[in-house]
């Protein structure tokens, strides 16, 4: 049943009606709290004696045994059996003491249930210590495994510290700092055990060197993180430790080990110096932790005494407080109610309306500094005034944070764009070099490798453009004339990794406005790439297109495992907006790029299930981007095409290992009625190559490009100037590049194949 809310005035009246009863309750509360605090002090002492101290002893014994075990596994001749057994006996005594404490009935009232459960778990897990020791004695485990087994015990024991609680913030802070120091010291002992084993073995493996770097960095971070929270006296002690000769020697030896790297030779440090420095540093840091723990316990006792004193005084002054409350409450009640309502309404309005508005203005680059200096009303009630002052500071912090976040976001975008533009410029140069090498190369294997590099560089350029697009900038490539959507789809298919699996079905002669060509190629390439990645490698990706009532629709269909209905709804919601980049969903960065490009041009992208069980991505290009087709004489397909396949064999399959597969685009008959294959013989080599293989066809730069595609795409803004010949990468050229390669191979092999001898009646 929900309680009915009452106003401040009503609550004041209810408080003043029974003052005598309130006074009696106050006295009873003081007496009860005094008794409760006394019991809590007793439980706190029991917790220290029965939980903290046995746990400390257990951790210290396990750390010492861990170091000796790793030294033993490293064949340290200085480890005597008697010393080894003595250390194990010390660990056994600490384990027995801990088990007695865990079973002590007094712990039940002094520790929380979670703490008791962890103590029981640790006591049970310590039963596996004999198995670990046996494995060490028989050398059934290596140093890394032994380090992990002992560390697991210590980590389980360290979790008990996390259950310490107090109502005093300083005590809580000191307890947390103490826990951090203990974790840092544990990293030091792990590092000591690790290096001790390596020195005993006479070599430092790559895995041990990596662990050394991790432990060193973690330790330095933990000590640095806790140093600022130490009390002044404790901080001075800590600074004296790290400035002392023992710590300086330890750090110098550690640095030498880190810089020397993995080695099969003996690590470049002296065993005695290492042991001396680590033992001294560990002892000093342990002493610091002990002093902090003692000081924390003393402060806890002082805090408990102060609570008792305050409660005792509260009981004596309770009556006076009630009388004063009667006089003051009547006079201030009305004003308090009014001002509290005013500020509550203002906070709600700022949270509901102003914060989104300020955020949006900051993202648009507008000046929002006026929000920090808005005049505030005066409040007669001090508490309400403080609330208003805190609210004012919070509002200013929100404004500053929003402005800073917007500026940082812009700077980060600028950095990404600059890096991506530089990559684009370099890739543009690389593609130019590859283009020239392809023209000048006749060796089949070399040409196949160059085509592979050409394709890889094209994909790298697309990924660089993705960074630019995610930063809200144009990709950099652009065309001034329309390009057929068929060629746009083929160009997109040529920019994906598994282009051999992509089947582009003819789409007629409908063309796309030049201003949207580059972004549409990128959009389709991302969808085709997703389809290829999330479908079996033996299946094909089918790309089809046709006129629709609201524009031109292109479908990308795969035969993968598909997506659930909830996931489809989520992704369709993302694609329907211009979303902010979600770094937690980095696997689907391509869909963020698709959403950005679609929002930029008014393109609609929808995902739906495929009849094959996969996913169909439907790209609806609006009428505003669909224009008249280019010149009818432009190559790249026609009514005689049955289908357009953006597919090409690997170079090894195409050259020297049998005939390649059918060309991606089947050429129609020539005007003379002869097959188009024969009309291209003049482009092939003069005869077989030196290795017996037919010569490849010689490529003619831009011979088959339409006039509007022979223009160079515009350089991306901010890219480095390039005085080398640029690369023409029009969509038609990119799509037909792979088809011409296969057709050339077939023509070259057909010319080089010996003709059968004439028959009896032949000439």
pLDDT tens string 278-309: 888 888 888 887 787 777 777 766 766 666 66
Relative orientation angle of helices 245-260 and 206-227, to the nearest 10 degrees: 140
Question: How many C-beta atoms lie closer than 10 Å to residue 511's C-beta?
Answer: 23
Q: Which of 200, 220, 202 is nearest to 212 (CA)?
A: 220
Q: Is the pLDDT of residue 183 over 70?
A: yes
Instruction: Kindly state the percentage of the chain with pLDDT values over 90.
Output: 11
Q: Which of 389, 399, 383, 405 is nearest to 346 (CA)?
A: 389
Average pLDDT over every residue of 18-36: 64
The pLDDT confidence band at residue 705, using thresholds 50, 70 and 90, is: very low
Average pLDDT over every residue of 62-74: 82
Relative orientation angle of helices 169-201 and 271-349, to the nearest 10 degrees: 150
Which 3-state string (H, E, C) describes 48-87? HHHHHHHHHHHHHHHHHHHHHHHHHHCCCCCCCHHHHHHH
What pLDDT does 584 receive? 55
Provide DSSP, 665-716: BPPPP-TTSS-HHHHTGGGS-SSB-TTSSBPPPPP-TTTT--GGGSSPPPPP
What pLDDT does 300 receive? 65
Which 3-state string (H, E, C) describes 713-733? CCCCCCCCCCCCCCCCCCHHH
Task: Look at the alpha carbons of 461, 467, 470, 475 in this order and tell me if their dihedral is positive or negative.
Answer: negative
Rounded CA separation 523/622 (Å):
15
Average pLDDT over every residue of 576-584: 68
Instruction: Kindly state the percentage of the chain with pLDDT values over 70.
Output: 64
Express the helix, strand and coil content of the chain in percent, nearest 5 each. Answer: 65, 5, 30
Task: Look at the alpha carbons of 529, 530, 531, 533 in this order and tell me if their dihedral is positive or negative.
Answer: positive
Give SS3 for 497. Answer: coil
The pLDDT confidence band at residue 277, using thresholds 50, 70 and 90, is: confident
Give SS3 for 264. Answer: coil
In 493-603 the beta strands, taken as DSSP E runs, fall at: 502-504, 511-512, 541-548, 551-557
Strand order from edge to edge, sheet including 626-627: 483-484, 511-512, 626-627
Q: Is the pLDDT of residue 545 over 90?
A: yes
Range list of H helices, 538-646 = 565-575, 589-601
Q: Is the pLDDT of residue 455 over 60?
A: yes
Q: Is the pLDDT of residue 137 over 90?
A: no
Rounded CA separation 709/729 (Å):
8
Sketch out the chain's domains with CATH numbers.
Answer: 26-312 (no CATH), 475-711+723-749 (3.30.565.10)
Rounded CA separation 199/70 (Å):
10
User: Residue 189 burial (CB < 10 Å; 0-12/13-18/19+)?
Assistant: buried
In tens, the pLDDT along 339-359 reads 777 777 878 888 888 778 777
Mean pLDDT of the residues in the chain: 72
Average pLDDT over every residue of 375-387: 70
Q: Which of 543, 485, 478 is nearest to 512 (CA)?
A: 485
Average pLDDT over every residue of 22-35: 64
For 267, what's the count of Cα atoms within 13 Å in the CB-facing half-sphere? 32
Provide DSSP, 312-356: HHHHHHHHHHHHHHHHHHHHHHHHHHHHHHHHHHHHHHIIIIIHH
């Amino acid at each position: 049943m929900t309680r009915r809310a009452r106003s401040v005035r009503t609550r004041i009246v209810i408080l003043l009606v029974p003052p005598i009863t309130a006074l009696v309750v106050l006295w009873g509360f003081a007496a009860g709290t005094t008794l409760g605090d006394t019991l809590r002090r007793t439980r706190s002492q029991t917790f220290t004696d029965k939980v903290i101290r046995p746990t400390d002893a257990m951790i210290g014994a396990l750390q010492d045994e861990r170091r000796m075990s790793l030294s033993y596994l490293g064949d340290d001749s200085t480890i005597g059996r008697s010393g080894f057994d003595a250390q194990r006996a010390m660990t056994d005594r600490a384990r027995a003491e801990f088990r007695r404490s865990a079973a002590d009935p007094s712990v039940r009232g002094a520790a929380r249930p979670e703490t008791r459960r962890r103590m029981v778990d640790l006591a049970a897990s310590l039963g596996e210590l004999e198995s670990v020791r046996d494995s060490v004695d028989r050398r059934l485990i290596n140093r890394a495994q032994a380090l992990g087994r002992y560390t697991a015990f210590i980590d389980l024991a360290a979790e008990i510290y996390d259950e310490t609680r107090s109502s005093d913030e300083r005590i809580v802070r000191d307890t947390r700092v103490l826990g951090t120091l203990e974790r840092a010291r544990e990293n030091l002992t792990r590092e000591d055990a690790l290096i001790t084993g390596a020195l005993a073995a006479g070599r430092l493996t790559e895995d041990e060197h990596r662990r050394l770097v991790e432990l060193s960095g973690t330790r330095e971070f933990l000590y640095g993180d806790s140093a600022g929270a130490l009390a002044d006296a404790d901080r001075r002690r800590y600074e004296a430790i790290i400035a002392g000769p023992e710590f300086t020697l330890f750090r110098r030896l550690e640095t030498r080990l880190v810089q020397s790297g993995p080695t099969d030779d003996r690590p470049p440090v002296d065993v005695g110096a290492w042991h001396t420095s680590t033992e001294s540093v560990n002892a000093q840091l342990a002493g610091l932790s002990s002093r902090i723990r003692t000081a924390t316990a003393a402060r806890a006792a002082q805090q408990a005494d102060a609570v008792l004193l305050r409660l005792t005084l509260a009981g004596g002054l309770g009556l006076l407080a009630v009388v004063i409350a009667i006089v003051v409450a009547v006079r201030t009640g009305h004003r308090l109610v009014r001002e509290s309502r005013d500020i509550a309404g203002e906070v709600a309005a700022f949270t509901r309306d102003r914060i989104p508005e300020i955020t949006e203005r900051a993202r648009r680059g507008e000046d929002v500094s006026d929000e920090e200096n808005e005049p505030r009303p005066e409040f007669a009630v001090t508490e309400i005034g403080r609330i208003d002052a805190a609210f004012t500071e919070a509002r200013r912090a929100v404004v500053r944070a929003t402005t800073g976040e917007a500026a940082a976001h812009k700077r980060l975008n600028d950095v990404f764009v600059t890096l991506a533009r530089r990559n684009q410029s370099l890739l543009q140069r690389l593609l130019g070099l590859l283009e020239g090498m392809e023209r000048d190369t006749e060796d089949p294997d070399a040409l196949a490798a160059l085509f592979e590099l050409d394709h890889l560089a094209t994909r790298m350029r697309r990924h660089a453009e993705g960074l630019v697009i995610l930063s809200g900038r144009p990709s950099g490539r652009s065309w001034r004339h329309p390009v057929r959507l068929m060629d746009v789809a083929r160009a997109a298919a040529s920019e994906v990794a598994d282009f051999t699996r992509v089947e582009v079905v003819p789409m007629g002669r409908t063309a796309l406005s030049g201003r949207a060509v580059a972004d549409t190629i990128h959009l389709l390439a991302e969808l085709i790439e997703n389809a290829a990645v999330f479908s079996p490698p033996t299946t094909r990706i089918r790309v089809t297109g046709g006129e629709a009532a609201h524009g031109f629709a292109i479908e990308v269909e795969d035969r993968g495992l598909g997506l659930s209905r909830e996931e489809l709804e989520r992704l369709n919601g993302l694609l329907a907006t211009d979303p902010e980049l979600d770094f937690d969903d980095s696997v689907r960065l391509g869909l963020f790029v698709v959403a950005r490009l679609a929002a930029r041009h008014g393109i609609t992208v929808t995902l739906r299930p495929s009849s094959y069980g996969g996913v169909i991505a439907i790209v609806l290009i609006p009428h505003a981007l669909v224009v008249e087709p280019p010149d009818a004489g432009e190559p790249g397909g026609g009514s005689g095409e049955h289908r357009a396949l953006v597919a090409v064999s690997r170079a090894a399959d195409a050259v020297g290992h049998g005939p390649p597969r059918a060309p991606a685009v089947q050429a129609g008959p020539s005007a003379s009625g002869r097959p188009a294959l024969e009309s291209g013989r003049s482009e092939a080599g003069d005869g077989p190559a030196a290795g017996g293989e037919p010569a490849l066809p010689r490529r003619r730069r831009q011979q088959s490009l339409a006039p509007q595609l022979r223009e160079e795409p515009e350089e991306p803004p901010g890219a480095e100037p390039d005085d080398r010949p640029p690369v023409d990468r029009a969509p038609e050229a990119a799509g037909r590049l792979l088809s011409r390669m296969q057709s050339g191979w077939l023509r070259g092999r057909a010319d080089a194949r010996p003709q059968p001898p004439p028959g009896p009646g032949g000439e």
